[in-house]
């Protein structure tokens, strides 16, 4: 479904369910992660982009403290009041919204002057690693901030969504997904520095595009694998702080040379986990120089390196994602490919010559099908505008 159709359907369903028109509608896109994997919570660097698919949130105020929230796709409604906002164990989709509402009011939603009725609908494929949950948080945040007349800057909004994710949805994510959704710009990559939380847009030429290839491997970050990777990074940072004669708070502070020299003091698994974000940071810094020179081939080579690092060190890839990257390597029209986002399933992000998109999709589909029997979903992605009110 195109964005306009999603919007029209949402507004029509809103009127049907609530008997009135929404007063505010907002939109927030999903994101692709282009380079820099699991670096955000290590205070490192990432290249990402907002995509041309997202989620819309429609809302109208209520006269009392009552709230209602409808998931526009399966038409389920959760009801609560501004005084009973809490993480839900059933209809857990509501947690992204109620968590955002909660933190928009700094944990005191009962201080909201009135309630609201809301509905959301989007076109980001679920479980694809395209951050449908961050998109939902960000469109919720924008619509509710407008409803209550709150002036919230983009970084603060991203942090509100991240807090919702941590405390209501149970995923200890970094800030990448929410920041990419907020700061995305048409035709551009977002270069993020998660130490300073500075976000810069870098324009991409028209001669390249991204292709997302969605595997059919399940991608669920709430089930512990993401958290255990994050824990290993934090443990490694503590260790490096104890052996290096310089301040270390996060793996951002550790160089590859230092890892090589001091890794012996870490367990083998923790050492393997730590080298991934350290290498990724170096690759993003190098990638920025290559992009500035327009050297897409060399930039793409870094994407392949990134995937190897996921495959061998961080172990957040899987057979399906590896097969997609391996198939991509055979084609000169693909400059680079890697898994995108948390990993353990989801999608790969390919940097491609858009003129060869059909050929690339056909080749990867053929190889994937021969191995797994089913077909991946290939779509060309246009880096797009970030979250906004409609
Ligand atoms: C998920 C998380 C992000 C980030 C990526 C990996 O998308 O939500 O915060 O850690 O994984 O780079």
Least confident of 80-94, 174-188, 213-227, 375-389: 213-227
pLDDT in tens, 105-128: 999 999 999 999 999 999 998 888
- Catalytic residue numbers read 177
Which residues in 179-311 belong to E strands, given as ranges? 188-193, 198-203, 209-214
Rounded mean pLDDT, 7-20: 98
- Using pLDDT thresholds of 50, 70 and 90, give the confidence band for residue 51: very high
Q: How far is residue 161's CA from residue 182's CA, in Å, rounded to a whole number?
A: 11
Q: Return the domain boundaries, the chain.
A: 4-203
- Tokens for 136, please give them: 């939902």
| 4-203 CATH, one of 3.20.20.70, 3.30.230.10, 1.10.3430.10, 3.60.21.10 | 3.30.230.10
Distance, CA of 45 to CA of 35 (rounded, Å):
9
Given the CA of residue 33, which atom of ligand 1 is nearest to it?
Answer: 12
Ligand 1 centre to CA of 171 (Å) is 10
CA pair distance 124, 387, nearest whole angstrom = 14
Query: Which residue puts its alpha carbon closest to atom 8 of ligand 1?
Result: 173
CA angle 234, 236, 240 (to 5 degrees): 120
Decide whether any atom of ligand 1 lies within 6 Å of the 341 Cβ.
yes
**C-alpha to C-alpha distances, 307 to 227, 283, 362, 373, 376, nearest whole angstrom:** 20, 12, 22, 23, 18
Strands 24-35, 116-122: pairing kind: unpaired
Percent of the chain surpassing pLDDT 70: 99
| Nearest-angstrom CA–CA distance, 233 and 274 | 5
Average pLDDT on 63-74 reads: 97
Interatomic CA distance for residues 279 and 201, integer angstroms: 22
From 173, 252, 316, the mutation candidate for ligand 1 (largest count of ligand atoms within 8 A of CB) is 173
194 alpha-carbon distance from chain centroid? 14
pLDDT in tens, 322-343: 999 999 999 999 999 999 999 9
Q: For the segment 338-381, what is each residue's pLDDT rounded down to a tens digit?
A: 999 999 999 999 999 999 999 999 999 999 999 999 999 999 99
Q: Quick check: CB of 173 below 6 Å from ligand 1?
A: yes
Using CB atoms within 10 Å of the CB of residue 159, give its burial: 0 to 12 exposed, 13 to 18 middle, 19+ buried: middle
Asked whether the beta carbons of 154 and 113 are under 8 A apart, the reply is no
Q: For a pocket test of ligand 1, which of 230, 341, 347 has the largest count of ligand atoms closer than 8 A to its C-beta?
A: 341
Q: Above 70 in pLDDT, residue 69?
A: yes
Three-state secondary structure call for residue 15: helix
Q: How far is the CA of 77 from the centre of ligand 1 (A)?
A: 29
Residues with Cβ within 8 Å of 348's Cβ and at least 6 positions away in sequence, in order, are 212, 213, 215, 307, 321, 324, 325, 328, 337, 338, 339, 340
- Ligand 1 pocket, 177 CB below 6 A? yes
Please say whether the dihedral angle defined by the alpha carbons of residues 381, 133, 61 and 14, taken in this order, is positive or negative: positive
179 touches ligand 1 (CB under 6 Å): no
Query: What beta strand segments (E) does the chain contain?
Result: 24-35, 45-61, 66-71, 76-81, 116-122, 188-193, 198-203, 209-214, 334-339, 347-352, 377-381, 388-389
The set of residues, in sequence order, having a beta carbon less than 8 Å from that of 354 and lying 6+ positions away, is 207, 208, 209, 380
Q: What distance in Å separates the CA atoms of residue 312 and residue 86, rounded to the nearest whole number?
A: 40
Give distance in angstroms: CA of 313 to centre of ligand 1. Answer: 17
| Average predicted confidence (pLDDT) for the chain | 96
Alpha-carbon torsion 146, 147, 151, 154, what sign?
negative
């Amino acid at each position: 479904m195109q964005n306009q159709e999603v919007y029209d359907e949402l507004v029509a369903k809103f009127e049907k369910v609530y008997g009135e028109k929404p007063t505010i509608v907002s939109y927030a896109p999903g994101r692709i992660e282009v380079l820099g994997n699991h670096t955000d919570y290590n205070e490192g660097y990432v290249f990402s982009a907002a995509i041309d698919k997202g989620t819309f949130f429609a809302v109208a105020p209520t006269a009392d403290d009552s709230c209602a929230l409808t998931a526009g796709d399966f038409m389920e409604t959760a009801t609560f009041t501004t005084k009973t906002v809490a993480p839900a164990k059933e209809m857990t989709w509501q947690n992204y919204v109620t968590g955002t509402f909660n933190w928009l009011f700094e944990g005191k939603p009962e201080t909201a002057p009135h309630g609201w009725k809301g509905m959301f609908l989007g076109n980001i494929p679920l479980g694809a690693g395209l951050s449908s949950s961050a998109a939902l948080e960000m469109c919720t945040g924008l619509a509710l901030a407008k409803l209550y007349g709150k002036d919230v800057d983009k970084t603060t909004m991203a942090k509100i969504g991240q807090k919702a994710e941590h405390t209501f949805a149970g995923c200890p994510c970094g800030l990448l997904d929410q920041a990419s959704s907020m700061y995305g710009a048409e035709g551009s990559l977002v270069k993020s520095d998660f130490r300073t939380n500075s976000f810069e847009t870098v324009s991409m030429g028209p001669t390249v595009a991204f292709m997302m290839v969605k595997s059919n491997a399940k991608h669920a970050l709430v089930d512990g694998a993401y958290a255990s990777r994050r824990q290993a990074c934090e443990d490694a940072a503590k260790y490096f702080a104890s052996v290096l004669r310089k301040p270390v708070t996060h793996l951002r502070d550790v160089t590859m040379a230092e890892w090589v020299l001091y890794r012996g003091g870490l367990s083998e698994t923790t050492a393997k986990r730590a080298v991934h974000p350290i290498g990724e940071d170096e690759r993003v810094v190098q990638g920025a120089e290559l992009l500035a020179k327009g050297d897409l081939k060399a930039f793409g080579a870094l994407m392949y390196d990134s995937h190897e690092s996921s495959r061998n060190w961080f172990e957040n890839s899987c057979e399906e994602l590896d097969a997609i990257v391996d198939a991509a390597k055979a084609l000169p029209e693909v400059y680079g490919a890697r898994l995108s986002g948390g990993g353990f399933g989801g999608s790969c992000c390919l940097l491609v010559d858009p003129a060869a998109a059909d050929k690339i999709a056909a080749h990867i589909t053929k190889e994937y099908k021969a191995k797994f029997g089913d077909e991946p979903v290939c779509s060309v992605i246009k880096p797009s505008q970030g979250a906004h009110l409609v």
